Structure 1
Amino acid sequence: MTAIAPAPDPTTSAPASRPGLAPALRAEWIKLTTVRSTWWTLFAVVLLGAGLTTLLVGLNAEWLASPEADEDPRAFITWGMMLAPAAAVVLGSLVVTSEYGSGMIRSSFAAVPSRGRVMLAKSILVASLLFVVGTASALLGYAGANPFLDAQGIGLPLEGDVLRAMYGSGLYLAGLGVLAVAVGFLVRHTAAAVSILLGTLFVVGPMVLLVPGAFGDWLDKVMPSNSGGGMAAAVSFNPNLMEPWTGFAVFAAEVAAVAAVAAWSLRRRDA
């Protein structure tokens, strides 16, 4: 007679394993690359970062070479990267807020119950993608703009601060992408997240110049557009900025602080 094995006791069965980071990254990569908004925003980064730099330098190369010029040509070689952050924050926000708008975020959390892991996977992918595209955009802008400077005898070699501004552009956009992901998880609404970020970068940042005294100077230095944006400029138009790597360390700390608050909030709020 064949013995019949007893049914397993559900109370003593081993708990199901939770998906690790690698499956979460694969799932988020599929979601990120199968929507049109990702490609449109990345195209906007390239168009703004490379296209505007080439256009501006092409129109002003003769003036930059003239004795009347009071600006360093290096300040213009990544000029378009001053506007590319607008597209970067839209991408980072949409990665999160579009799922809250459609209700898909519940499926994401059901598949990967560790909400922090979902946030980490989104942040890694957005930062990696924006670093690559941001650096490539800066290099394309340099390749398009420098021939105009060469024609005027003021060409810039790809070294020193100019080289740092190339990968610094990628680092700045990557940090903004992580910041946008964190703000997206905090506010859960596309218009609100984009408005907060664009307002901080392009409205509040310039307005702090109106604050008088040493406190105003300090605010100007630590605003994200200045603390992080200095990495993306070979020579900044703003003489009040910190040294590029010092400023970027401050910017990274600001991004980490917002991300920590978002992760804490994510564990304690309903989906």
Structure 2
Amino acid sequence: MTAATTTAGPTGPTPEAGRAGFDSVVASEWMKLRTVRSTFWTLITLFAGSAGISFLICLAAADQYAKDLAAGKTDASPDIVMLGLAFVGQIAAYVLGVMSISSEYTTGGIRTTLTAMPRRTEILVAKAILLVALVFVVGLAAAFACFYLGNIPLQAKHVGVSLSDPGVVRGIFGGGLYVAGLSVFGLAMGFLLRHTAGAITIGLALIFIIGGLVQLIPGAIGRWLYKVMPGNAGSQITQFGERSHNANKSFAPWTGFTVFILEVLVLLIIGAILFERRDA
């Protein structure tokens, strides 16, 4: 007869000897994430690249933006200050998510990870939680930096954007939420494809190229596909104001973000199933 694997303590059974808890999985994944050089440089690109590009875009476009506002043109949107995050931030967040798992397959480190922690779903969940927390913080800081730096040339033309304007605060916090979601989207694609270049190419094509091309499909099908493409749906939460001129083509901000998160969760679940069934 073997000895029991748990013993009763003052507060109940103690964990089975030698079995790491989920907090240990998170701690292990955090150590890997923060010690990889690509994480540091990708986050620097997310923050500094987004802020710098927003400033340069607004500097170049401030004069025309002021003229468009004066002429009452509906496409003169104040979220011009967030364009750096829309370009550089999206790419950096997605790439970070992909590389957080694909690099382990490239180096063979995934075998060591699974030897130390065979409970695969917990590894995936831990990676997703850490990415969301880290990228949201950096993404939110980048969104505020885009807002304030982009405003500098706009204020010089007396067309600056205020935090009290409709949708601005939601758009800034939405920027942090959106890039955090994109990092998990990248993680899911990394688990699905297990190849860095392939996952990055396919994901960025979905966000930047295919997301725009599907609107060329005529009729209601084309309009629906355009709305539900990940980049189109998720980015609505970063838009300032109501964008009523786009109402027939895009979801409302929170609706679009919800659709995006559901798409990410579906991919993540599929990735988890494949991760459990595939060999390392």
Q: Normalising to structure 1: TM-score of the pair?
A: 0.91
Residue number among 189, 202, 217 corresponding to 2:223 in the alignment: 217
Residue number among 233, 242, 256 corresponding to 1:247 in the alignment: 256
Match of 2:8 in 1: none
* CA shift for structure 1 position 182: 1.3
Residue number among 188, 195, 211 corresponding to 2:201 in the alignment: 195
Deviates more, 1:151-160 or 1:135-144: 151-160
Percent pairwise identity: 40
Q: Deviations over 1:211-248 (max 9, x none)?
A: 11000000000000010011122156955111000000
1:87-102 to 2 correspondence within 5 Å? 87-102=92-107
1:22-171 to 2 correspondence within 5 Å? 22-66=23-67, 67-68=70-71, 70=73, 71-83=75-87, 84-159=89-164, 160-171=166-177
> Which letter does structure 2 place at the counterpart of 1:44?
T
Residue number among 188, 192, 200 corresponding to 1:186 in the alignment: 192
Distance 1:53 1:185, change over 3 A: same
Deviates more, 1:41-50 or 1:139-148: 41-50
* CA shift for structure 1 position 206: 1.0
Name the SS of the counterpart of 2:167 in structure 1: helix
Q: Deviations over 1:124-152 (max 9, x none)?
A: 11111111111111110111111222222
* CA shift for structure 1 position 18: 2.4
* CA shift for structure 1 position 17: 4.5
Check whether the contact 1:135–1:169 (CA below 8 A) recurs between aligned residues.
Answer: yes
Deviates more, 1:62-71 or 1:120-129: 62-71
Check whether the contact 2:185–2:268 (CA below 8 A) recurs between aligned residues.
Answer: yes
Check whether the contact 1:74–1:234 (CA below 8 A) recurs between aligned residues.
Answer: yes
Name the SS of the counterpart of 2:251 in structure 1: coil
Deviates more, 1:70-79 or 1:206-215: 70-79
> Which letter does structure 2 place at the counterpart of 1:211?
I
Check whether the contact 2:77–2:240 (CA below 8 A) recurs between aligned residues.
Answer: no
Q: Normalising to structure 2: TM-score of the pair?
A: 0.88
> Which letter does structure 2 place at the counterpart of 1:254?
E
Deviates more, 1:118-127 or 1:230-239: 230-239
> Which letter does structure 2 place at the counterpart of 1:91?
L
> Which letter does structure 1 place at the counterpart of 2:150?
A
Q: Deviations over 1:152-206 (max 9, x none)?
A: 2222111341111111111111111111111111111111111111111111111
Check whether the contact 1:52–1:80 (CA below 8 A) recurs between aligned residues.
Answer: yes
Match of 2:276 in 1: 267
CA–CA separation in structure 1 for the residues paired with 2:156 and 2:77: 13
> Which letter does structure 2 place at the counterpart of 1:59?
A
CA RMSD, 1 decimal? 1.7
Distance 1:234 1:126, change over 3 A: same
Over 3 Å off, 4+ runs:
235-239
Q: Gaps spanning 5+ residues in structure 1: where? A: 1-8
Distance 1:73 1:149, change over 3 A: farther
Check whether the contact 1:18–1:112 (CA below 8 A) recurs between aligned residues.
Answer: no
Q: Deviations over 1:77-113 (max 9, x none)?
A: 2111221211111111111011111111111122222
